Amino acid sequence: AIRLNASAVGISIFVGSDYEKESLLNLSKLVDEGERYGIPVMAVTAVGRELDKRDARYLGLACRIAAELGARVVKSYWCEGFEKVVRGCPVPVVMAGGPQVDSELQVFEFVWDGMQKGAIGVNLGRNIWQNDFPVPMIKAIRAIIHRKATPKEAQEIFDSEKEKGQKKS
């Protein structure tokens, strides 16, 4: 990370799993190393296959543990009651991808909801790069985050950008 001049590093923690202790120890060690060199650590509250744990209580506890161990930022999944996750975490929360959804509008809705409830940004994966139109998705989500666009406005941006891209092809 130092050789690459990284601005930050990230590590997943697995609260409630068989490897909870090891993942939390790894976070603590990485925070110590990062602090030594001025590199902040983002903890990712990984859930993996245990999808039933994606509730506000579980994610809130996992985020709080990460912050207490020294993470400067926490990446967590969107969930119902996301404001409880953010409110209970003493460091900024970046929203992860959230649930697998069937439409772009549903992505825009959970991104908008998470931003309204205190996320400082998003770190989305499959909802962008698995979309047939990733650039329009990025532009629409950017509008929600930086221009406070509503989900409907984001959908309009997506549709317009998608149409422009199809005309160029």
Q: Which residues pair with 10 in a beta bridge?
A: 42
Phi, psi of 9 (to 5 degrees): -130, 160
Sign of CA dihedral 24, 122, 112, 100: negative
75 is catalytic: yes
Annotated active-site residue in 21, 29, 53, 75: 75
Active-site amino acid positions: 75
